[in-house]
Structure 1
Amino acid sequence: MPCPGDDVSMHNTPTRVLLNVGHAIDHMFLLIFATAVTTIALEFGLTRWEDLMPYSAAAFLFFGLGALPAGKLGDHWGRRSMMILFFMGMGASAMLVAVTQSPLQLALALALLGCFASIYHPVGIPMLLQGSTKPGWTIGVNGFAGNIGVALAAVITGYLVKHFGWRLAFAVPGVLSLACGIAFAMVSTVESAPPAKRKATQVELPTRLLARVFLVMTLAATAGSLLFNFSTNGNYELLHERFADISRDPALLGVLLAVVYAVASIAQLVVGRLIDRFALKPLYLTVLLLQIPFLLFAAHAESWTLYVMQALFMTAIFGAIPFTDAMIVRYVDDRMRSRVAGMRLAVSLGASSVAVWLLGPLVKQSGFATLLWVMAGIAFITFLVVTQLPDTRTLETEKPAV
């Protein structure tokens, strides 16, 4: 339970709404490029989208590595201040991307965007969870909001690219983020003290057991991030290649993909509710097991069959996302959640940025069928890793007495 001085009062409704909007912005901005990459490549004189895709890898690298200093600053400087920096930085860097004139300039601007994007997960999510009595549901709603951002990246970018060009696809959301930053500064309560200086709110696990949980959590999150990056950055072009009847209309493709993401996002709400009611480990293993057959069936599917399989494997991929944040809430005190999340994210997202760098060359060389087989293999490895997570009985036995 929260203790006095925890600043739970800062979580008024407008603040909670903006924290969830921030998650949508975080994921939306990182995927605008993936949706508009074909159009951008043509303007920059490249004949294939695969040749431009590696230029976005730095954004995802810094999205991961930046989580480490962001988490430390969130605990020691304050989460509210970091979230204001997030909104303003995302807006400014998106507008900078909109005025780039070459692939190198684009890569640098996207890298800056990745730096600011790295703030949200280790700072915004612990801030939202602070004092929450139903953390699973809170994580589920927040994950749903993040994936609505993924859906919006597809539909809004597709529309803006078709009617106004790819530059406005970055500039318009950039203005929105700046407005959210101003609103957040106005409605959120100033913290009485940064989290690291507050009193402990829960009993900590023994160091050995905590290290085991952290290792499993980090490895599973790395694999999950690989699947997330491969899928969300490649889904638009996968539909473009396998759905020939409508592949000529970028706006329609964007709408279809947005529907996939919106449907898949509901899984996070369901999983969030289940996390509050059932043991975490068997629930996590069940979701991971569902990923494998859906990815394998999609590897060789076409047209509407592919579309259905895409919706199913994205549902399973999105459904696995809440578990790592749930583990942090369950096993780590609020005073250091941003730092633990930052360390986990720096490793998992930094390592998984290779997916963005490899996506274009891998598809160009071997095709989407090979990519989906690789993703199924990653899902199987993740399943094996999570079997090593301590079960509830072990945790209750090894927790120190209060």
Structure 2
Amino acid sequence: MGLSGNDRAIAGFAMTGHGLVHWFETSIPIFLVVWLAEFEVSTLLAGLVVALGYAPFGLGALPAGILADRFGAKTLVVACLAGMSASFVILGLSGSLAGVAIGLVCWGAAASIYHPAGLSLISTGVEQRGRVFAWHGMAGNAGIALGPFVAATLMFLGLTWQAAALILAIPGALAALYGLRADFDPTAAVDPDVDAGADEALSLSDLVGNSRVLFASAFALVFVIVTFEGLFYRGMLTFLPEILHGSSVLAGVAPGPSLEGFEPGHYIYVGLLVVGIVGQYVGGRLTDRIRPATGLLAFFAVLAVLALSFVPILSIEAGGTAGLVAVVGLSALFGFFLFAIQPFYQEAVAVYTPPESRGLSYGYTYLGEFGFGAASIAIGGYVLDISTPAFLVTMATFAVIGVALSVGLSVGVDRFLGTGPEQAATTADE
């Protein structure tokens, strides 16, 4: 069965937004290399400046979710696209580290809007959620891969980083203009008797009350599951390039003269992200066939095994192709499953929350994923100083905890908390 016209319109709009969020996000580390040399600052100071942009990306998700319920998801996504483009224009016009900091803070605040608003739009407007969640995830992974590639290529061709930033802002501006003209029903997947559209502004008491209702239901468990997925995801993606770079198995692999300065681990890492596109698609399609709790349980278990599998494989001595093939194969599997799990927690939020609080629900979800999940950068950095195996065991532990929590959701903890799939469906029909 094909998608309806409304489903296709929302899918195209949301996929564009998702791809551009990560297009901007992953271009920033490419610029960081140039900023270190141009501004002659320490890595610590430059890193703190970049952190100013990434922190609001997660912490702003909750207020963004509240705003999505107030003003409507489409309006918020358009504002996100316009804001991200404007932020990169600020970057492109800046000539100091202070200007860079201002641009990055603005970008993080604007980018934080997308996930709660975009996913809320899909959950209330799309009939075939699983398929669109899959395409949506693939678009995000495409942005993850294309952002740094385009930024690096523009500077390789001789453009300054400021010019590259201005060029990168163009697709976001065009997408915002497209969004203003896009025509679709953002609540087509919700029963007409349920209010899932823009609502009156929440008072503090309303916010506390709605939050209390959410966290007195199975969503509380889903939130903790998402947080541990975020801890695993952010920790592994942040430090895996460094782990690959320092591994003995890749020590004897050298690229040709034309690729001087590139590390084999970087190629493997980019390949991992590309494979993640397939993982997102497969995971999204599986949400139409497998219960969210069951899928989360299975994928967390696989991720724990894969994380631990890096320990023996990365210790293989350099000099043979077998070790290289093993690292490439394991990384490809890891990339597939790391991104294949994401549609399952997105679907879990849609299943275990009422439509009228969907924006707030996804706001809390990405506060856990990107906000609390970022704590693994500090945890992982500390443990990685001890040893690589200790780091990988720590990350695997996060996944094992995810398994245990998913078991709880699967066997029916939601019945005791008050809102499971049956209750959510009943709510939507009332």
TM-score range, shorter chain: 0.7 to 0.9
How far residue 18 of structure 1 moved from its aligned partner, in angstroms, is 2.6
Hey, what does 2:118 align to over in structure 1? 124
Deviates further, 146-155 or 391-400: 391-400
1:252 deviates by 8.1
Which of 130, 139, 144 is 1:136 aligned to?
Answer: 130
Per the alignment, residue 208 of structure 2 pairs with none
Cα shift at 1:134: 2.2
What does 1:2-81 correspond to in 2, within 5 Å?
11=6, 13-46=8-41, 48=43, 52-81=46-75
Q: Provide the TM-score with structure 1 as the length reference.
A: 0.82
Native 8 Å contact 1:12 1:188 kept in 2:
no
TM-score calculated relative to the size of structure 2: 0.77
**How many Å apart are 1:180 and its aligned residue?**
0.9
Match of 2:305 among 262, 287, 293: 293
After the TM superposition, which of the residue ranges 113-122 and 294-303 deviates more from structure 2?
294-303
Which residue does the alignment assign to 1:111? 105
Aligned with residue 179 of structure 1, among 171, 174, 184: 174
Q: Could you tell me how far 1:159 is from its partner in structure 2?
A: 2.5
Q: Distance in 2 between matches of 1:102 and 1:370?
A: 39
SS at structure 2 position matched to 1:278: coil
- Deviation of residue 85 (structure 1)? 0.6
Which of 404, 407, 411 lines up with 1:387 in the alignment?
407
Structure 1 segment 261-280 matched on structure 2, within 5 A: 261-280=273-292
3-state SS, counterpart of residue 387 of structure 1: helix
Structure 1's unaligned 5+ residue stretches are: 1-7
Bigger relative CO (Cα 8 Å, ≥ 6 apart):
1
Contact 2:14 2:118 in 1 (8 A): yes
Encode CA deviations 1:226-269: one digit per residue, 9 max, x unaligned: 23323334444444444452484449876653332121221121
Over the matched positions of the two proteins, sequence identity in percent amounts to: 21
| 1:156 counterpart residue number | 150
Partner of 1:224: 229
The 3 A distance-change label for structure 1 pair 93 and 299 is: farther
- Specify the alignment match of 1:146 in structure 2: 140
Query: How far is 1:56 from its partner?
Result: 2.5
Question: What secondary structure, in the 3-state scheme, does the structure 1 residue paired with 2:408 have?
Answer: coil
Give the drift of 1:14.
Answer: 4.8
Counterpart amino acid of residue 389 in structure 1: L
SS of 1:389 mapped into structure 2: helix
Aligned counterpart, 1:372: 392
CA RMSD of aligned residues (A): 3.6
Q: Partners in 1 of 2:404 and 2:410 — Cα distance?
A: 13
Kindly tell me: are residues 12 and 386 of structure 1, through their superposed partners in 2, closer, same or farther at Cα, counting changes over 3 Å?
Answer: closer
Task: Please tell me whether the aligned partners of residues 231 and 376 of structure 2 are also in contact (alpha carbons under 8 angstroms).
Answer: yes
- Match for residue 331 of structure 1 among 352, 371, 394: 352
Uncovered stretches (5+) of structure 2, i.e. residues with no partner: 197-211, 316-322
1:320 maps to: 341
Of 333-342 and 383-392, deviating more is 383-392
Aligned residues: 388
